């Protein structure tokens, strides 16, 4: 079978699929408070079209999928799409990233449809601070979603916490305690300059070495652990005696580009080789033509750069490519 390998020998078997760029929250690290210009519904890929793209990708070695947004659970009948994707020959793993607000009502159906794993965004354990970061929504509903995911049998359940200097770094110890006491995998994520490499990003960026410092201060005995089941580039740690664990995703202070295995499909139909750079390939003209669609996948391999250079951006060094102007919600988290 043909394989998707880029110029640097990296094999790609993972596709992240954004099913919508719309979201019910306005998290301050993801989009401005007033929102962004959303894609008109008629220009969003239909489920039939997503299935067609994935079928082609699967024929080229794609085995793992992640459904993202925006907030994917606002897209109607998502469990129906999951069921169709899980039946495609070669697809062995399907995960979902969600803000959790609507998860309690959908967790069971998603699990029954074939969803294997779920990642839930949770940047704070304080209700008032949740409203500050997300600008809307209720922490209570996210916590209910976590419980529903556990009841539905999802394992592992990962919590994605974007660390923001001066905003939620004082909760690192609380999140570590949560992972110590409960069978959850807390993933601390560095704030990335996707679509807005401005002073706000620079002022709130926090390297994840801070998490290890806090863990040491709290007296945890740490050891590295094998990667928690999934597709992410997490640097995973175990606390002695803990029920759960934690991981560090540090695309800036310690980028993981050398083993990148992913492509992204945006809600408006663009195949994106790298999260940070502007390069995109529109799949819509290739729909209905399997050979043309394959060529787009191979072209994505040809134009994929060696790394994203976010650290260079932080240091104000020259970049080799043009960064994207799209926000994270417009690409797919």
- Rounded Cα–Cα distance for residues 261 and 13 (Å): 6
Q: Do the domain assignments include residue 9?
A: no
Find the CATH number of the domain harbouring 44: 3.20.20.70
Q: Do the domain assignments include residue 207?
A: yes
Do the beta carbons of residue 308 and residue 257 sit within 8 Å? yes
Residue 198: the pLDDT is 58
Q: Do the domain assignments include residue 2?
A: no
Q: Provide the domain count of the chain.
A: 1
pTM of the model: 0.90
Instruction: Give the start-end residues of each E strand in 79-123.
Output: 93-98, 117-121
Residue 254: the pLDDT is 53
Instruction: Please identify which residue in the block is written with the tokens 């601070």.
Output: 129
Residue span of the structural domain in which 225 resides: 14-331
- Rounded Cα–Cα distance for residues 18 and 36 (Å): 16
DSSP state of 46: P
Do the beta carbons of residue 130 and residue 139 sit within 8 Å? yes
User: Quick one: tokens of 27?
Assistant: 């998290």
- Rounded Cα–Cα distance for residues 233 and 227 (Å): 9
Q: Which alpha helices (H) appear in 120-207, and where do they start and end? A: 127-134, 139-152, 172-181, 199-204
Q: Do the domain assignments include residue 1?
A: no
Do the beta carbons of residue 192 and residue 162 sit within 8 Å? no
Q: Do the domain assignments include residue 8?
A: no
Do the beta carbons of residue 185 and residue 179 sit within 8 Å? yes
Q: Do the domain assignments include residue 4?
A: no
Q: How far is CA 90 from CA 57, 63, 223, 305, in A?
A: 9, 6, 35, 27
Closest CA to 19 of 114, 94, 89, 90: 94
Q: Do the domain assignments include residue 251?
A: yes
Q: Do the domain assignments include residue 27?
A: yes
Residue 133: the pLDDT is 94
Per-residue pLDDT tens listing for the chain (333 residues): 678 999 989 999 999 999 999 999 998 888 777 777 888 999 999 999 999 999 999 999 999 999 999 999 999 999 999 999 999 999 999 999 999 999 999 999 999 999 999 999 999 999 999 999 999 999 999 999 999 999 999 999 999 999 999 999 999 999 999 999 999 999 999 887 665 555 677 778 888 899 999 999 999 999 998 776 655 667 899 999 999 999 998 766 555 677 789 999 999 999 998 876 767 899 999 999 999 999 999 999 999 887 755 544 444 554 556 666 666 667 776
């Amino acid at each position: 079978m043909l394989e998707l390998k880029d110029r640097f020998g990296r094999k790609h078997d993972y596709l992240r699929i954004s099913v919508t760029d719309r979201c019910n929250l306005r998290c301050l690290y993801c989009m401005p408070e007033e929102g962004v210009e959303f894609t008109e519904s008629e220009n969003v890929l239909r489920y039939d079209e997503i299935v067609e793209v994935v079928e082609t990708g699967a024929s080229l070695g794609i085995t793992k999928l992640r459904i993202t947004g925006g907030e994917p659970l606002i897209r109607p009948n998502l469990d129906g799409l999951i069921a169709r994707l899980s039946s495609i020959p070669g697809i062995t793993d399907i995960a979902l990233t969600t803000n959790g607000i609507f998860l309690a009502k959908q967790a069971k159906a998603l699990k029954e449809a074939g969803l294997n794993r779920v990642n839930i965004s949770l940047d704070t354990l304080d209700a008032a601070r949740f409203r500050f970061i997300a600008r809307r929504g209720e922490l209570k509903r996210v916590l209910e979603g976590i419980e529903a995911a556990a009841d539905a049998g999802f394992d592992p359940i990962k919590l994605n916490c974007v660390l923001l200097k001066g905003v939620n770094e004082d909760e690192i110890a609380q999140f570590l305690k949560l992972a110590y006491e409960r069978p959850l995998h807390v993933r601390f994520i560095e704030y990335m300059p996707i679509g807005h490499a401005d002073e706000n990003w620079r002022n709130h960026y926090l390297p994840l070495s801070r998490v290890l410092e806090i863990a040491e201060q709290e007296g945890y005995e740490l050891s590295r652990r094998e990667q928690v089941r999934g597709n992410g580039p997490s640097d995973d740690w175990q606390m002695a005696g803990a029920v759960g664990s934690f991981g560090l995703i540090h695309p800036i202070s310690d980028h993981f580009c050398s083993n990148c295995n992913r492509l992204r499909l945006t809600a408006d139909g663009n195949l994106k080789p790298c999260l940070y750079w502007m390069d995109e390939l529109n799949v819509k003209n290739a729909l209905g033509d399997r050979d043309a669609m394959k060529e787009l996948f191979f072209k994505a391999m040809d134009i994929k750069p060696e790394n994203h250079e976010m650290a260079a951006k932080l240091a104000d060094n020259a970049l080799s490519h043009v960064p994207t102007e799209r926000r994270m919600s417009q690409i797919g988290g």
